[in-house]
Structure 1
Amino acid sequence: MNIRHWPGNPERPALALHCMMGNASYWGPIARELGDLVEITAPDLPGHGKSRDWEGVPPDFHTTATREVAPLIQRPLDLIGHSIGATIALRIAVAAPEAVRSLTLIEPVLFAAAPDPENEAFLHEIRSLVENSESEKATSRFLSVWGGIDWESQSPATRDRLIGQIKMVVSGNDTLIDDSAQILRNGGLESIDAPVLLIMGEDSPPAIPAIAEALSARLADVGRASIPGAGHMLPITHPEQTADLIRLNIERA
């Protein structure tokens, strides 16, 4: 797994986990904003950035990614995640709450926390398109809701990369719709005693605030924040505001 690292406060390690179809490089501006407070390390998840391809064999993508990320935690640290990265961070925090000093969840896509028939129908449509060899259509449809990019403006190379990653989206979404990782098991969220902050974009898909509401109801020490004018990709589109909110949560720990 490829690891990216930015200089910062070596006495306060932090780990940042990126979204599906992204890579760890987008944490750079946020890491530089927070360098006086923490030293951020961020892996490229399997099949992303410069990491090896995901082979598509058992276990599922979410489990594979979690198993590769977890050994990077050698001491209690500040854990930050975006989208599927936020659900991996939450999965780790539930399994090992003692490993987390603070937990910042940006747009966590744990769909099982707040089932939404419309969103689930959309995600099942994406799966069906992939299974029927319509991966390009599936990719453009998925990104129109969850990626915030204009498909037609992407270069052929970028399109090819994203089309190649759509199978990971399907595997990850299946896990998140059904909570096969049992992140929501009884007593799991309640075991996290570190400060938790849920960050959302004001213009994000409706599933996000519903998920945040459901998670907040079970977390012991939790805050919520919304960034005006931001959508799902707010660490990229609004890095300064995102960094300011992460700072507030880390300083609480």
Structure 2
Amino acid sequence: MSGVHRRHWPGDADRPALALHCMLASGSYWGPVSERLAGRVDLQGFDMPGHGRSASWNPKPDDPDYHTAVTRIAASFISRPLDLIGHSMGATVALRIAVAAPEAVRSLTLIEPVLFAAAPESAQAQPEMQIDRLLAEGRAEDATRGFLSVWGTQSYDELSERMQVQMRERIGLVAECAPTLAGDRPRILREGGLESITAPVLLISGGDSPRVIHDIADALAARLPDVGRATVPDAGHMLPITHPDEVSGLIGVNLDRA
């Protein structure tokens, strides 16, 4: 896809890595994490369509769904086995790639993957399960407010007017990903899929994150052959931003395992 803003934090050229950000943010927040990794990896990233400095998401009738489009962009960065890092929706893209091409992944760090299909009962209590309905009723502000109350670093009312407008404009992308995240449209959880990942996997959660995050991690960990678990105390969903020291330290642990 054209109009994708690429990001690069140079490091060890023999240790390529790719980091994938969450919804309603941009790849810029990997900068502090990369700084703390001190060049151990040559880290690349990008702003997903409709985010950061990338072009808006205006799909044509024959274009893939949003999650598939982001997955294809991410896959275009991979030319040899690399360390793959993902947060939230970005972690579901990373997991999708690892299931499809396990030989392409050297290590896999999943920070709060929001693959709700892995824990459907817990997922039903989450705000994004209501976003479709709110948007259909023309209540974009309410949808955005509810989403940020659980998954943001600030409440909707704490944001500047410019940021509120940006968030409202992007909230539809969250709804567009619901069939993938809640229904597992790409079959990430298919039989034998997670079990095929031979790279070391680390699942990182925030201690104060919603229960569904921990239930998802439980479900994934039960099927992954080589998996570690870590919980960052007093952290919520946006821990790569709020707790970069802890997150980068844990990423480093998984790099050592590979």
Bin the TM-score by the shorter chain: over 0.9
CA RMSD of the aligned region, Å?
A: 1.3
Partner amino acid, structure 2, of 1:127: D
Count of aligned residue pairs for this structure pair? 253
Partner residue of 2:186 out of 176, 181, 185? 181
Q: Does 1:48 align with 2:51?
A: yes
Which residue matches 2:64? 59
- Post-superposition shift, 1:240? 0.6
- Post-superposition shift, 1:69? 1.4
Secondary structure in 2 aligned to 1:218? coil
Partner residue of 1:80 out of 85, 103, 121? 85
Which residue matches 1:155? 160
- Post-superposition shift, 1:34? 1.0
Name the CA distance, whole Å, in 1 between partners of 2:122 and 2:8.
40
Name the CA distance, whole Å, in 2 between partners of 1:120 and 1:150.
19
Which residue matches 1:25? 28
Secondary structure in 1 aligned to 2:199? coil
- Post-superposition shift, 1:250? 0.8
Residues 110-149 of structure 1: CA distance to partner in whole angstroms, max 9, x if unpaired? 0001112563563232211111111111101111011131
Q: How does 1:1-253 map to 2 (within 5 A)?
A: 1-55=4-58, 58-116=63-121, 119=124, 122-253=127-258
Contact 1:76 1:101 in 2 (8 A): yes
- Post-superposition shift, 1:30? 0.5
Residues 154-185 of structure 1: CA distance to partner in whole angstroms, max 9, x if unpaired? 11110111101101000112211000010001
Partner amino acid, structure 2, of 1:50: R
Of all paired residues, the percent bearing the same amino acid is: 55
Name the CA distance, whole Å, in 2 between partners of 1:15 and 1:61.
19
Name the CA distance, whole Å, in 1 between partners of 2:66 and 2:120.
21
Name the CA distance, whole Å, in 2 between partners of 1:220 and 1:198.
13
Contact 2:127 2:146 in 1 (8 A): no
Partner amino acid, structure 2, of 1:212: A
- Post-superposition shift, 1:61? 1.4
Contact 2:204 2:229 in 1 (8 A): yes
TM-score of the aligned structures, taking structure 2 as reference length:
0.95
Contact 1:200 1:227 in 2 (8 A): yes
Pick which of 119-128 and 3-12 moved more. Answer: 119-128
TM-score of the aligned structures, taking structure 1 as reference length:
0.97
Secondary structure in 2 aligned to 1:245? helix
* Unaligned stretches of 5+ residues in structure 1: none
